[in-house]
Amino acid sequence: MKTIETSIEVNTQHQALLQLPDDINPGKHQARIIVDEDQKETMIDFPVISLGGWPKGFTMSRDQLYDDGR
């Protein structure tokens, strides 16, 4: 059993086209469809904070990130 979560658009004839992953074999399958009509599509506008560039010589090496005595 696989769980596939996707968005669909229903046309005026109440039909929807669904593209399945390649690992689903052709043939008959049991499927469940849940329509959540209360779900609203929202866009979240995250603020952008510029902190400038990396400090000169900063390589993100373990020695620069951690002080664990290695």
> Checking phi first, is residue 43 left (phi over 0); if not, alpha (psi -120 to 50) or beta?
beta
Helix (H, G, I), strand (E, B) or coil at 63: helix
d(Cα 65, Cα 63) in Å, to the nearest integer? 6
d(Cα 28, Cα 40) in Å, to the nearest integer? 32
As given in the structure block, the two tokens for residue 39 are 């779900």
pLDDT for residue 7 is more than 90: no
Q: How many domains does the chain have?
A: 1
Classify residue 66: in a domain, yes or no. no
pLDDT for residue 70 is more than 70: no
Classify residue 30: in a domain, yes or no. yes
Question: Domain containing 20: what range?
Answer: 1-39
User: pTM of the predicted model, to two decimals?
Assistant: 0.40
What is the predicted pLDDT for the residue at 13? 93
Are 16 and 9 contacting, i.e. CB atoms less than 8 angstroms apart? yes
13-59: per-residue pLDDT in tens? 999 888 888 988 999 999 888 887 776 767 788 888 988 888 888 88
